[in-house]
Amino acid sequence: MYHTIAQIIGIGAMAAIIYSFQCKEMKYLYIFQTIGSLLFTIHFFMIGAYIGSLMNLVGLVRSGLFAMGEKTHKRPVLYMILLTIGLFTIIGWQRETWMSLLPFVAQTVGTLALWSGDNIKVRICQLAVLSPGWIIYNILNFSIGGIICEVFTSLSVIVYFARIKRDKIKAD
């Protein structure tokens, strides 16, 4: 029953993350990323994937800070987040060794992409780096919500690009 509850929480997290990539405004993308990160923090902790839990905790704080806009969009905030990712990776290395690198790279690239505030960069990084790294980590830790999330997030990003292209063609 415990494992089933953990997987259900992961599926809830998946829904929030997938939806975030359909948001046109960065503020709403950050809000749904925050909700998804909170649920994935709980999910990964429950299934014993502690580095995944820690990295999602960073994602939760990061998205919350970035959603606040210019008052938290300062270099020291970025450096604090990147330092925390590095420290959590060192802590996670003790338990998960090389697997810690997958969420480390994903969270680092994701943080830099979100920091840019550029919708296109965020989505390109999601397709090229974040989703592939998390898919492998999720498979290794049997996170059903995590696996499905990354597959659907990638599809959602592709749909986003298709919508943008379609809207541009209609406008021309």
Q: Tell me: the pLDDT tens digits for 4-62?
A: 999 999 999 999 988 887 787 877 888 888 899 899 999 999 999 999 999 999 988 88
Q: Is 30 exposed, middle or buried (CB count within 10 Å of its CB: 0-12, 13-18, 19+)?
A: buried
Residue 15: C-alpha distances to residues 10, 20, 66 (Å): 9, 9, 20
What are the pLDDT digits (tens) for 93-139?
877 778 889 999 999 999 999 888 888 898 999 999 999 999 999 99
Residue 102: C-alpha distances to residues 29, 81, 138, 139 (Å): 23, 17, 10, 12
Domain ranges of the chain: 2-171
Residue carrying the six token digits 């649920």: 39
pLDDT at 67 over 80: no
* pLDDT computed for residue 13 by the predictor: 94
Alpha carbon 25 to its chain's center: 17
